[in-house]
Amino acid sequence: MPIYVVGAGPGDPKLLTLRAVELLSKADVVAYGDLVPEEIVKLYARGAAVVKIGHRREEHDAAVAALIEEAKRGKTVVVLKNGDPTIFGRGIQICKEAERRGVECEIVPGVSAFMAAAALYKIELTNGTTLRHITLLSYPHVDAQTLKNAADTLVIHMMGDHLSELVKMLQDLPNVEIYACYAITQGGKCEKTEIGKLEEYRGKKPLLIIVRKVPPAPSLNSGASCGI
């Protein structure tokens, strides 16, 4: 049987795709990490055996290897990843390892948390003029120089335990708007904040930070002159 790597979305069971629900209903084994709400599994995969996956690479890789063996035995295996499996979710890596071991693999897209945050809280990530590009970043691959050279909109994942480091990095960025978003479909919120207040969100999980570069206001001397 194939192994299925399925996007669980930002946490709200109603935001799963129809394909995700279909596969969960047929699953013999469902594996997921701490960021995927148990409610999703209890609601859509009631008859499946449950496997918890750790975030440490060694634990994650060992769990994936065991799940691939389950698929080889003819079990329908679903690996749930929060958000979309291809965005910091190792979805492609899981499929490559499965296929290397002779097991077919399918990835089912999910709604990434940053897209849900933008939609639910009406935060423009792009507007075609001043906001033209998006950079997706994740700890530990974040530094001041990267932020300075990045796109008009930055989406920074997995910085919840390292907010003091992020504050120092962002201080070198002039003219920015910052949004702190956490548990956006599970009773949390997404709100505009300031660099100096970011550490107030320590402990909020899952947390992502959206930073938008604000163009400087036009000079009073710019443009065509007009006479009176």
Q: Percentage of the chain with pLDDT > 90?
A: 73
Where is average pLDDT lowest: 33-47, 56-70, 149-163, 210-224?
210-224
Please tell me the least confidently modeled range out of 60-64, 104-108, 213-217: 213-217
pLDDT at 173: 86
For residues 127-156, one letter each, b for 16 or more C-beta atoms within 10 angstroms of the residue's C-beta and e for the rest, the string is eeeebeebebbeeeebeeeebeebebbbbb
- CA–CA dist 33, 50 (Å, integer): 11
Contact at 8 Å (CB) between 16 and 40?
yes
Hey, where are the domains in the chain? 3-108, 113-213
**What's the whole-model pTM score?**
0.87
pLDDT digits (tens, 9 = 90+) for 8-48: 999 999 999 999 999 999 999 999 998 899 999 999 999 99
CATH topology of domain 113-213: 3.30.950
Beta strands 176-182 and 189-193 are: antiparallel
**CATH number belonging to the domain at 3-108, selected among 3.30.230.70, 3.40.1010.10, 2.40.37.10, 2.130.10.10:** 3.40.1010.10
Of the candidates 148, 204, 151, 190, the residue with the CA atom closest to the CA atom of residue 171: 148
Q: Is 90 exceeded by the pLDDT of residue 177?
A: yes
